[in-house]
Amino acid sequence: MTRVLIADDQTLVCTGFAMILTAAGVEVVGQAANGAEAIVATRRHRPDVILMDIRMPEVDGLEATRRILSGAPTTADGEPIRVLMLTTFDLDQYVYAALSIGASGFLLKDVRPDQLVHAVRLVRQGDALLAPTITRRLVERFARADPDRVALHRDLATLTPREREVLTLLARGLSNTELATALHLSEATVKTHVTRILTKLQLRDRMQAVVVAYETGLVTPSGRQLGSTTSQG
């Protein structure tokens, strides 16, 4: 069962989300009213997913997420803890900041119950998620190719042609299932490719891989990409 920690200073939001997730068979292991409490609760409960509000008193959600993920925390099962950011505001500047520090997704608080449950399960599986209204164009706007960033353990030359192809499609928002369909591969093979990409580029998760794909220029706002891909597996 997926274990979730909810961090939000609005009691009604915490209560409502907890009811929705519990009804869907998701275990809510704790709640926090600010970022400082979220940090403590994470250490105590080691949840699979943290629903983290951005605007909170004392320590905001972005800073709490940075502190939590900087220690590469793991769940009770030894898997990386995932953070799904929550906000009432569809504001561009939060998105790239959240993704850059390692958040696995971004949702608006008016998300439908079924979308909330789906998001938690998707992120738990290691997929990345952006709310429907927060498109990849936001990442494209803030992530610009930077020679220094490219040189910083981001050598895409270490990737095989197939891995570059997977990274390109991953950066465009495709899930593992969609990647498998697009590339005519099994989901297990896709997961293997993604794991190798993260290992070679020294990345924590696929959300960071999305950011790197834009920063290095592999994917650009115009849709063009560096180099070429092949269909060889």
Range of the domain at 56: 3-134
- 11 with 88, same domain: the answer is yes
Counted domains in the chain: 2
**Residue 52 predicted with pLDDT over 60:** yes
Q: What is the mean pLDDT of residues 37-45?
A: 96
> What pLDDT does 151 receive?
46
pLDDT at 68: 95
For residues 58 and 124, what is the distance between their CA atoms, to the nearest angstrom? 28
Residue 181 inside a domain? The answer is yes
* Helical ranges in 11-135 per DSSP H: 11-23, 35-45, 61-70, 92-100, 113-124
Task: Kindly report the average pLDDT of the chain as a whole number.
Answer: 82
User: So what's the pLDDT on residue 175?
Assistant: 79
Closest to 154 in 3D by CA, of 194, 104, 211, 105: 211
193 inside domain: yes
- What CATH number should be reported for the domain holding residue 37? 3.40.50.2300
Instruction: Please report, for residues 13, 43, 82, 175, the alpha-carbon distance to residue 119 in angstroms, rounded to integers and kept in the order given.
Output: 16, 23, 11, 12
Residues 118 and 150 in one domain: no
pLDDT score at 224: 42
Q: Which among 79, 100, 134 is the end of a domain?
A: 134
Q: Determine contact, residues 56/79, Cβ cutoff 8 Å.
A: no
In a domain, 63, yes or no: yes
pLDDT digits (tens, 9 = 90+) for 178-222: 899 999 999 999 999 999 998 998 887 777 787 788 778 787 755
Question: Per-residue confidence at 136, pLDDT binned at 50, 70, 90?
Answer: low
pLDDT greater at residue 216 or residue 163 = 163
Question: Would you state the pLDDT for residue 206?
Answer: 78
| One-letter amino acid of 52 | M
Report d(CA 83, CA 207) in Å as an integer.
11
